[in-house]
Amino acid sequence: MSGQPPKALTGIGVAMGPGSFTGLRIGLSAAKGLALARNLPIAGVPSLEVLVASQPGLRRPMIAMLQVGRGRYAWARFRYKTHAGGQITETQVDDIKTIAKTISSPVYVVGEMGAEERQIMGGASGNRTTGAGFVLCAPSFRSGRACLGQTAARSCR
């Protein structure tokens, strides 16, 4: 929650995944229980959209990605559209090398990547030293909770 008392809430936003199965079940259950108890509207938001919404209005396509285990990532491409990007590919699950092979033009990447993954992405994009094909975004320019809330509010309108 945002530090407000429960009676101040006007709606509930909840991340729908991708994410850990147990974490999603707990989050969804808590959100549904609170929404039911307070008679509030509830809106589910894809986790990748929350990542994109946390970035400033970047005027370049973006790849949002989250680790899902065993060296795999859930990812999708988004296009620039104000602070919330429009998803232009289905969410997919692949290894980092497969994702890197899809980069054929400049793109921002937001999500979870270690040094090895950044090196693979930079190498696949054509220039290891400058990463000319991709730019790794900061983890979050805006609070994830705020972005989830704002994105959920748009869904409820």
Condensed to tens digits (0 to 9), the pLDDT of residues 21-67 reads 898 999 999 999 999 999 999 999 899 988 888 877 667 788 999 99
* Contact criterion met (CB below 8 Å) for 51 and 77: no
Give domain status of residue 75, yes or no: yes
67 and 119 part of one domain: yes
152 and 114 part of one domain: no
Domain around 22: 6-46+143-156
Supply the pTM of this predicted model. Answer: 0.76
Alpha-carbon distance values, 136 to 26, 40, 113 (Å): 30, 37, 9
Give domain status of residue 1, yes or no: no
31 and 103 part of one domain: no
Tokens of 11: 């709606």
First and final C-alpha spacing in the chain:
20
